[in-house]
């Protein structure tokens, strides 16, 4: 098994991109730390033969879902909401597009962010979401269809 430090170095960038897309740049740091702490705790118990990328993305997906569940229970003062979220990796229009992705239903949001932000295959997305490959493809397709309708001129 690869030492955890090497595992972390190989997977930190795709996990970071996924979490920025899934929870937004303001909360990605916390979710990133929680993801790799959970991965570190479970690293020795990981099943042999499983994709390390899909395994850590499953953890990241679970942490993102935890964030969304917790955020739904928390009140946010309107004065504290940012007008436009910008980050180092894109423009304001990119932030607006990712905000629309975050507004999708959970399965569509997860399928799109795992597929495009984390660059997983549909089979790896299916493993991360605990569904069939066809269901993962369908969720991604429906999410893209919704975004195309919303973003069309």
Question: Could you list the pLDDT tens digit for every one of the 153 residues in the chain?
Answer: 688 999 999 999 999 999 998 888 889 999 999 999 999 999 988 877 778 888 999 999 999 988 888 866 666 565 555 544 444 445 555 667 778 888 889 889 889 888 888 888 899 889 888 899 999 999 999 999 998 888 777
Q: How far apart are CA 31 and CA 105, in angstroms?
A: 20
Tell me the CATH number at 107.
1.20.140.160
Question: Alpha-carbon dihedral of residues 130, 143, 19, 68, nearest 10 degrees?
Answer: -80
Instruction: Identify the CA nearest to 60 among candidates 78, 87, 89, 35.
Output: 35
The whole-model pTM stands at 0.59
Task: Name the residue range of residue 124's domain.
Answer: 4-151
Query: Given this model, what pLDDT does residue 74 score?
Result: 63
Rounded to 5 degrees, what angle do the CA atoms 65, 67, 124 make? 30
Instruction: State how many domains the chain has.
Output: 1
Q: How far apart are CA 116 and CA 138, in angstroms?
A: 14
Distance of CA 118 to the CA centre of its chain: 7
């Amino acid at each position: 098994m690869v030492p955890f430090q090497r595992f972390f170095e190989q997977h930190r960038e795709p996990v970071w991109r996924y979490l920025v897309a899934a929870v937004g740049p303001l909360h990605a740091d916390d979710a990133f730390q929680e993801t790799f702490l959970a991965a570190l705790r479970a690293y020795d118990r990981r099943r042999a033969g499983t994709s390390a990328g899909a395994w850590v993305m499953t953890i990241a997906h679970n942490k993102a879902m935890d964030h969304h569940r917790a955020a739904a229970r928390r009140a946010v003062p309107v004065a504290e909401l940012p007008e436009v979220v910008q980050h180092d990796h894109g423009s304001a229009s990119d932030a607006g597009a990712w905000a629309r992705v975050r507004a999708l239903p959970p399965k569509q949001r997860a399928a799109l962010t795992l597929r495009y932000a984390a660059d997983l295959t549909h089979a790896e997305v299916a493993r991360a979401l605990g569904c069939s490959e066809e269901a993962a493809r369908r969720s991604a397709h429906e999410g893209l269809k919704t975004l195309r309708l919303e973003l069309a001129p």
